[in-house]
Amino acid sequence: MISQNITKLIGEAMKAHDGVRLSTLRMLSSEFNYEKIRLQKELEESDEEKVIRKEVRKRKDAIEAFAKAGAVDRVELETKELNILQEFLPPGVSPEEVIKLIEDSIKEIDAKSIADMGKVIALVKSKSSGVDGATVAQIVREKLG
């Protein structure tokens, strides 16, 4: 379980006086607790991964927003947090694999138009939880558009 590992890593970050890592791990631990309360059950590893992916998505959005605003120091901080969070996720799917998954899914459900986009995205995500939904949506839109 990721949450048990996080507790140990929080102690290590405290000893190392690594403020960014410590605050990121504490935030993640807190998010796990919020999700546990929301679901009213102990989290499984898949639940923990969903929480981490949500936090990764938040960091990516923040990096984009801060970059547009010219806040370089905040971009650096968010990037550090993003890298720490990604340590707990399984390796991502390569762009080539994502395209192959999408093409196979389009053929499998015989998608013809943009109206089938939701079905294709759902099928791709069910085949591989490691894919980024926004990326999948963009590629599917190009293929079906």
* Tens of pLDDT, residues 58-111: 999 999 999 999 999 999 999 999 999 999 987 777 778 888 888 888 889 888
C-alpha distances in Å from residue 112, one per residue of 2, 13, 88, 109? 41, 51, 37, 9
Asked if the model's pLDDT at residue 120 lies above 90, the reply is no
pLDDT-wise least confident of 7-16, 31-40, 86-95: 86-95
Q: Could you please state the CATH topology (level 3) that the domain comprising 2-86 is classified under.
A: Hypothetical Protein Yqey; Chain: A; domain1 (1.10.1510)
Any idea which architecture 95-144 has in CATH? Answer: Orthogonal Bundle (1.10)
Residue with tokens 């015989």: 110
Task: Give this prediction's pTM.
Answer: 0.73
Measuring CA to CA, which residue among 127, 83, 80 is closest to residue 102? Answer: 127
Rounded distance between C-alpha atoms, residue 117 and residue 86, angstroms = 28
Contacts of 67 (CB under 8 A, 6+ apart): 75
Location of structure tokens 């403020």: 19
What residue ranges do the domains of the chain occupy?
2-86, 95-144
Report the distance separating Cα 68 and Cα 75, nearest Å. 10
Distance CA 95, CA 37 (A): 36
Instruction: Tell me the residue type at 102.
Output: I
